[in-house]
Structure formats: structure tokens, C-alpha cells
Structure 1
Amino acid sequence: MSSAMLELILEATLDTLYMVAVSGVIAAALGVPLGVLLYVTRPGQILAQPLSNRILGIVTNIGRSIPFIILLVAIIPFTRMLVGSSIGTSAAAVPLTIAAIPFVARLVEGALNEVPPGLVEAAQSMGATPLQIITKVLLPEARGGIITGLTITVVTLISYSAMAGAVGGGGLGDLGIRYGYNRFNPTVMLITVVILVVLVQGFQMLGDYLVRRTDHK
């Protein structure tokens, strides 16, 4: 394999990591608070707002139900307005982020469901405010589940980034299509698949390690 192709593979790998990092960080920053809101605004919870909870739930479910390939095309005008282009890694990060936010929110909500209600009741009996309950009880107790959810999100974003690359987003997906499939070069396609598998395994192992280090249960 030529040095030029090796450089392309390295560049495509870095582009994929860039897309996943940007979308993952923003999705976590927005999705975790959204997941907390979905949980605490339920009927019977510390900030019960049934109507607001229902609206948030509907919006989140709509975001999760749109297939990524359709979302990728549907928000092209928004992507172009935001980053100035609908092609490239920065452009691909926009739909990746939008797809990941509701995904993270539901995973965080699920992690919070595992927190024993007795802990919240104990904190309330000691006069803790809702914010204190969220930051001192709910999030610390659900930390392992939240990290697991974020790990699942990153793994999903890696596969989505390959899909985005196939329609001009750059990265390993773009490399596999342009230099592998279109040029009938199975070696390049195999290399991109192997790199994607390695990335998935690496992030999954990192997530498992962090869960073991932080989950005190």
C-alpha cells in the first residue's frame, strides 16, 4: 500500500475521531441535563411538571424516531446555516449531535430510574433542595449508568459517522466508499472496517474501565 493511501487512512481516522468527539461532547452537555429534566419533572418526582414532562417526552421521542440518514438530509439547510457548508466533517457533526442528544437523554433517564427512591426521600427529609438532590444524590448514584449510556452513545456515533461519510461527511465512511467501493478495492474497505471495529472496542473498553472506577455499588 502506498504512502499516499496510508496518509489518507490516517486523515480519515482523525476526521472520524473529530466528528465523534465534537458531537459526543455537545450531546453529553445537552443530553444529560435533558435526561435529568425528563426524570425530575415526572409526576411524583421532586420537580413534578406533568405537562412539561409530556412535551419534553414527545420532543425527545420524535428526535429518536427519525432515521439518521433521513435526518442527515433533512437538516441540510440548518447545517449550512450553522457551519457554512453541508459537506465535510464539521457539517457532519451537526446531524450527529442532533441525533445523539435525545439518545443520551433517554439513557440518562434510564440510569436515574435505578436510583433507590429511599435515597431521595432521605435527602428531602433532611431539607435538601431539588438542586442539591440532583447534584448530591441522583447524579452520583447514577454515575455508572450514565457513563455506560455515554459509552453506548459514542459507539453509536462511530457507526453514524461512517454513514455520514458516505454522503460527503468525510472520515472513514467517505474513504471506504470513494477509494474502496467505487474503485473496486476491497483492501481499503476491509481496512476501514477494521479501524472502525478497533475504535468501537477501544471506546467500549475505556467506558467499562471508567464504570468500574466510578461505580461504588
Structure 2
Amino acid sequence: MAGVSAGKKLIQIDIVSDTVCPWCFVGKRNLEKAFEASRDRFDFEVRWHPFQLNPNAPKEGVDKRSYYEEKFGTNRSKQMEARMAEIFRSHGLEYNLSGLTGSTLDSHRLIYFAGLQGHDKQHALVAELFLGYFTQAKYIGDREFLLESAQKVGVEGAAEFLEDPNNGLNEVNEELEKYTRNINGVPHFLFNNGKLALSGGQPPEVFLRAFEAATK
């Protein structure tokens, strides 16, 4: 994605996201559809930044469906699940609410680390984490899952990096403080260093209009 081709304009996109946020995944997929529809005019550089919907989520994980039912109530939780399942099917995916949810801190540390090796590698890692968590019932706090995802996209040294809980912690916490203070929810998209901002899992056509506005 990174780099500018002749005759094209570069759009830098900073995405604030949590790895257990389904709308963040939907927003990412729709953004990528907009990429495909406009690659003849634009090049893109995407950078991911952390947000925690539940900073106090337990590291050991809790049952995902039970957590949502406790948080939103049984009826609303079922409605939300049905809605997300419908949206995921429109992307050719099956929404899976089984498995565990919990602390996303290690996933954000890993995403930060992947970013040091390149924005494209970071973007690919985020995709693997979303797919595993939302469609395969993988636990976002499971070290084996994190390392498996890192290996798939070629992140080098991930095991050694995650082994020390302090690696990347200051950097992630600084960004968490920054974005928690300045935005109310995720996903949040910043175009060309904040020239334009969008929130939520927007459809592709909204992103296409944002590309135009951000490059004027």
C-alpha cells in the first residue's frame, strides 16, 4: 500500500481501533473495497493505532456470548449478534460469537511491533487478528494465536517481543491515552494527518468521498 506511483496522490490513513470491535473489522473491509475502486488515482499508507473498549478486561478471558449478554442484556445482545451475522455474510464471512473475549493489550503491542517492520505488514496482521477472533473463535489474548497470526504475515521476532510484557508497553499506553482523550469510539479514521476524520463502519462510498476531500 505504501509508496507513491507516478500520477497518483498519496493518502495517509490513521485508524484507531480495538481488535475485539466488530465495526472496526467491518470498517476495514469497506475501506479496502474503496481502495480497490480507486487504485488508479490514489496510493494509500495505513497506520493502525490502539484503543481499548474495555481497559479492565481480564487477561485470562471470559466467555464471549456471556460477556455481551451481561453488558447489553440478553435481548439486545441477540439482536446485535443477528445484525453482525448479517453484515459479515454480506462480506462472505461467518460471524462466530463462541470462544473467549478479554484483554486486547498484547494484541496492540504486537500490532505496534509489526508496524516497526512496515505498514503493509501491520495491516496484514490486523486482518489476521480480526479474522481469527470474529470468524474462528480465537481468543485475542492467546499467545499462540497472536504468534500464529504474526508468522502468517511475516512479522519477525514476535515471540521474543511478546515474551517481555514491557516491550512496546510505553508506546501503546501513550497512544491509548492520546486517542482515548480525543475520540469517543472506534473505528475512527484520520485522513492525511487529520485533514478529515470519519467514525464508524462506513460504507465504501463514504470512504471514496473522503479520499476526494482529503486530497483537495
Shorter-chain TM-score: what band? under 0.3
TM-score, normalisation: structure 2: 0.25
Q: Select the structure with the greater relative contact order (CA < 8 A; seq sep ≥ 6).
A: 2
Q: Whose helix proportion is higher, 1 or 2?
A: 1
